[in-house]
Amino acid sequence: MRNLFMLIDQEINAGKPVSLVSVVDVKGSAPQRVGAKMLVSATGELLWGTIGGGTVESLALKQAKYQIESKIPILKTFELQESGEDATGMLCGGEMQLFFDVFGTSIKVFIFGAGHITQQILPLLMKLGYTPIVIDDREEYLKQHIISRFNVATYTGDFLEIIESLFIEQDSYIVILTYSHDMDEKILFHLLSQKISDLSTIKYLGMIGSKRKVKEIFSRLESKGISRETLDSIHSPIGVPINSQTPEEIAISIAAELISVRNKEEK
């Protein structure tokens, strides 16, 4: 897996966008299991890995090329049947769900939590040119409130396990807005201890919380070995100070802070 991420980084640094195609669900007979991956170039060339070969891989290569061109990640299901609306002409008889992630084409905002604030901030971010990716461990909630309403990439499952599978680019933004302060703290600690100990490698890391709650969380994280310098670089309480109260107002304050960071970097 390390070689894969090195290859992604190499392609991006060379100015070549890529799509990482992952098997996220399998039903019935299929040529590959969940977790299989392949890396595809902007021309539709297979650079690394496989999702099983054959017709489904050929179709996935074309889909990956299209997603790079559109700059939008997508979750797509392929029916491994000879006939039918979404049939691939294969004889396996099963079904494969593939996630087409895209790197090197846009500014990604990883949002942990699919709650009310996230639902308000998504249309703002999309209009502002960001590519949001929503992560939540409540599958049905995610389907009902995000997948059914917004054309954005999503991950569902254990938050900490998902963090391990994410490829976080240097221009990425991370926003932590889950349903509990305890989960926010766990996610923040896992990010800082396992994924991005050097915050200079990303553009932004923010976490929601009152001043008192943030102070308590930071104190505990410092006792676990996270440096005060690192903690002081986190945007928390999150958002610009506009005395926001409602989810709509908080979403605006967060979006404004992301804009401020982006515009500062572009000067």
Helix (H) or strand (E) holding 153: strand 153-156
CA distance between the termini of the chain: 36
Contacts of 152 (CB under 8 A, 6+ apart): 73, 122, 126, 131, 132, 133, 134, 146
Omega prior to 123 cis, within 30 of 0 = no
For the chain, the domains span: 2-103, 107-266
Q: What is the dihedral of CA 153, 176, 250, 199, to 10 degrees?
A: -100
Parallel, antiparallel, or unpaired: how do β-strands 37-41 and 46-49 relate?
A: antiparallel
Q: What would the two tokens of residue 211 be? A: 């001043």
Q: What would the two tokens of residue 26 be? A: 């399998």
DSSP 3-state of 137: coil
Q: Residues 118-164: pLDDT tens digits?
A: 999 999 998 888 889 999 999 999 999 999 999 888 999 999 999 98
CA of 36: how far to CAs of 20, 23, 68, 92, in Å? 10, 5, 20, 17
**Amino acid making up residue 87:** A
Q: Residues 4-31: pLDDT tens digits?
A: 988 998 888 667 899 999 999 888 877 7
DSSP 3-state of 108: strand
Radius of gyration of the chain (CA): 19
What distance in Å separates the CA atoms of residue 74 and residue 28, rounded to the nearest whole number? 22
% of the chain residues with pLDDT over 90: 61
The class that CATH gives domain 107-266 is alpha beta
Q: What would the two tokens of residue 77 be? A: 């299901």
Q: What would the two tokens of residue 153 be? A: 């990439």
* pLDDT attached to residue 246: 95
Contacts of 259 (CB under 8 A, 6+ apart): 128
Calculate mean pLDDT across residues 87-113.
79
* pLDDT category of residue 166 using cuts at 50, 70 and 90: confident
